[in-house]
Amino acid sequence: MEINTHTPRDTNEFAELLRRKYGTHKNLDYFLQDALIAYKFCIESENILFIPMAIYEQETLVAHAALICDKRLPSGEAFFGFLETPDNQATFTLLWDALIAQARTHNLTLLKGPVSGSIWHQYRSIKETDGSEFFIAEPMTETYYYDLLISKRPASEVAYFSAYRTHFDIVLKLLGAVSYTRLSVSGFSIKETKQVSPEQMHAIANITKEIFHSSWGYTELTEREFLQLYSPEKIGIHLNTLYLLYKGEEIIGFLSTAKENDSTLVCKTICILPQYQGQGLGNALAYKVHLDAGKDGITKIIYALIREGNAIKKFPKESAVIFRQYAAFEFTV
């Protein structure tokens, strides 16, 4: 067994490791595409010093981690990510010690992760799960990573969850139709699209910047970087519906859904510009999604990767089942 630090020229070796580890999962192709876009992003970004570490057995890559030094983070902070390792404490410790040594070489005092690339491609470890299959756009990971990371005594833990609901009547009742039916009276409207235009992507990039700038581990992407990670073509592959919230002719919020199968939707975070929050517009978007889902024969909605304690203070948990809990960490170096 050997470990080395190297400068990757392409993503092929890491891709093969992912295929060996996760090749039985139905959404592998989406996950693999997402992970490799993020990996390439780190290699090419002028804002990132990317230092991968690899462990080999008989010339085969068996474990991998990377130090991701993004100059947009506060001084002394960096990400770690692209973490793949066997369920073996000795192997993981060898990998971890190499990561910490590199962090100290670069005068770092705090590591955040695991993430794949940046906070925009988070790679959370699984804390608890009911064992259900990974849904589309969910980062694939081994369930033992949480215990391995906890063994290194993180300074803090950031919690997330995914949930699902199979009965929509209760959420429609909780949200109430009033916020939706009164939209036009207040000058708002919701428009739906199955394809994302460059102009819409520009608006979405600006909205996410305003909403998430104070989030844990946030790094402000340039518009070129945002489109590299979230191109209209990539989003369109699995987009079911993009709901765009307008104030007059201005896009002020959005919510997207992806289709897991003919009866299941994956619903991503509702985003609304701060100056329009608190007016029931999030409820209106959520109401519209659940109303449409019932009409379209959808029997299950997955609410993907929600951070505990985030701005969705009124997430209606009645009849919703939390089936996965995740954690990201901060480690002092």
Locate 333 and state its tokens.
């170096």
For 310, the 3-state DSSP assignment is coil
For 38, the 3-state DSSP assignment is helix
pLDDT in tens, 123-150: 679 999 999 999 988 989 999 999 999 9
Q: Cα separation of 271 and 310, whole Å?
A: 12
* Encoded amino acid at 289, one letter: V
Pairing of strands 264-267, 77-84: unpaired
Beta bridge partners of 162: 324
Instruction: State pTM to two decimals.
Output: 0.89
Burial (CB count <10 Å: 0-12, 13-18, 19+), residue 218: middle
Q: Cα separation of 174 and 170, whole Å?
A: 6
Mean pLDDT by 10 residues, the chain (333 residues): 67 92 92 88 89 90 93 93 95 95 97 80 85 92 96 95 90 87 91 88 86 76 73 70 95 93 90 92 93 94 83 59 94 97
The pLDDT value given to residue 233: 67
Locate 160 and state its tokens.
């997330």
2-160 and 167-298: same fold? yes
The pLDDT value given to residue 184: 86
The pLDDT value given to residue 155: 98
| CB of 225 closer than 8 Å to CB of 261 | no
**Token match 């990539």: residue?**
234
The pLDDT value given to residue 315: 54
From the list 117, 67, 61, the residue with the least C-alpha distance to 86 is 61
* Encoded amino acid at 326, one letter: Y
Locate 202 and state its tokens.
């520009």
- Domain locations in the chain as residue ranges: 2-160, 167-298
The pLDDT value given to residue 141: 93
Give the DSSP per-residue string, 124-139.
PEEEEE--PPPPTTPP
pLDDT in tens, 27-50: 999 889 888 888 988 888 888 999
Locate 86 and state its tokens.
């066997």
Q: Cα separation of 284 and 110, whole Å?
A: 40
Longest CA pairwise span in the chain (Å)? 68
The pLDDT value given to residue 312: 47
* Encoded amino acid at 214, one letter: S
Pick the CATH number of 167-298 from 1.20.1110.10, 3.40.50.300, 3.40.50.1820, 3.40.630.30: 3.40.630.30
CATH number of the structural domain 2-160:
3.40.630.30
The pLDDT value given to residue 322: 93
